[in-house]
Amino acid sequence: MAEVFHLKTPLLESINMSKRVGATVYLKMENAQPSGSFKIRGIGHLCQQLARHSKGVICSSGGNAGMAAAYAAQKMGVSATIIVPSSTPPLVVQRLHDQGATVRIVGKVWDDANTEALKLAETEGLTYVPPFDHPLLWEGHASMIAEVTASLGPSVKPGAVVVSVGGGGLLCGVIQGLKDVGWTDVPIVAMETVGAHCFNAAIKAGKLVTLDDITSEAKCLGAKTACKQAFDYSQSSKLTIISELVTDQQALHAIQTFLDEERVLVEMACGAALAAVYSGIIVRLQNEGRLPALLGPLLMIVCGGSTINMEQLTNLKHKLQS
């Protein structure tokens, strides 16, 4: 059997978040994965399937998909080239180098970097590793829900799941996982920041749309267009997907509160999901009758992320709170 690169992560009960929501909140601690985020689940799986005999992998990324691709490639003994946009903080470029990857900075946003990655995959004969739009990624991400069922035991089912949405790969993986365990009736709260809101924009327009630009500081949510599968799920009458937006200030407030209360530092992309609790969105959805009033346990996917350290947090505070 092929080696698995991801870890089984802890499912922690958060007393502080539970108090805020009035229901038990469980944190699926994907920040604890090697490479710093959930991405290794899907990307590890995809690389196992597609890159075994590869000349090398090439991945376009806001940062975390690249970290996962570099980690998997190093484990497999193949080279990794990661194309990131100029909005990716230098600390991640350094972390990618430390993981043994070749890094190139191309364009302003992820979509620009992706165009270059696709081109190089073709001309250099490298295996293209997409950050969010591939069934193998969703299959890999789905393992996190299987772990949650094992941790909760057979008699407990979540009342709702909260995820961040960038291009929608995590969302598709979570839905795949819910399908696998027969939990498709569990509502999903899909969180984005204003300025990186391609999924919310698609739902409002009733079709996939491409944002003009990424203006949010949550750069790892910064795909201009959501993947088709995520949009198709949003249109399905068999699923309940509630799309909500927060501001960058709310996402930043969330990462600071999470650091204070849970003693864990995550990046803005993850702060968007945490803000569902810290900015009172879950409670509002209950008051509006869009989530049940007596909510079963709330499952929060703590997607993690490497584009943060104390210096970056200080920079964000200066930028967003002054």
The footprint of ligand PLV (CB under 6 A) covers: 37, 39, 61-65, 110, 131-132, 164-171, 220-223, 267, 269-270, 303-305
> In this complex, which beta carbon is closest to ligand PLV, that of residue 139 or of residue 295?
139
> In this complex, which beta carbon is closest to ligand PLV, that of residue 167 or of residue 187?
167
Q: Compute the least distance from the CB of residue 51 to ligand PLV, in Å.
A: 17
> In this complex, which beta carbon is closest to ligand PLV, that of residue 269 or of residue 291?
269
Q: Compute the least distance from the CB of residue 70 to ligand PLV, in Å.
A: 11
Six-digit token string for 262: 């849970």
> In this complex, which beta carbon is closest to ligand PLV, that of residue 51 or of residue 172?
172
Q: Compute the least distance from the CB of residue 289 to ligand PLV, in Å.
A: 27
> In this complex, which beta carbon is closest to ligand PLV, that of residue 67 or of residue 298?
67
Q: Compute the least distance from the CB of residue 284 to ligand PLV, in Å.
A: 22
CA distances for 254 relative to 31, 136, 268, 304, 311, angstroms: 15, 31, 9, 13, 17
- Residue 54: name the closest of 41, 72, 33 by CA: 72
> In this complex, which beta carbon is closest to ligand PLV, that of residue 131 or of residue 140?
131
- Residue 308: name the closest of 259, 244, 261 by CA: 259
Q: Compute the least distance from the CB of residue 174 to ligand PLV, in Å.
A: 10
Backbone φ and ψ for 311, nearest 5 degrees, come out as: -65, -45
Q: Compute the least distance from the CB of residue 63 to ligand PLV, in Å.
A: 5
d(CA 255, CA 273): 10
Q: Compute the least distance from the CB of residue 183 to ligand PLV, in Å.
A: 20
> In this complex, which beta carbon is closest to ligand PLV, that of residue 170 or of residue 209?
170
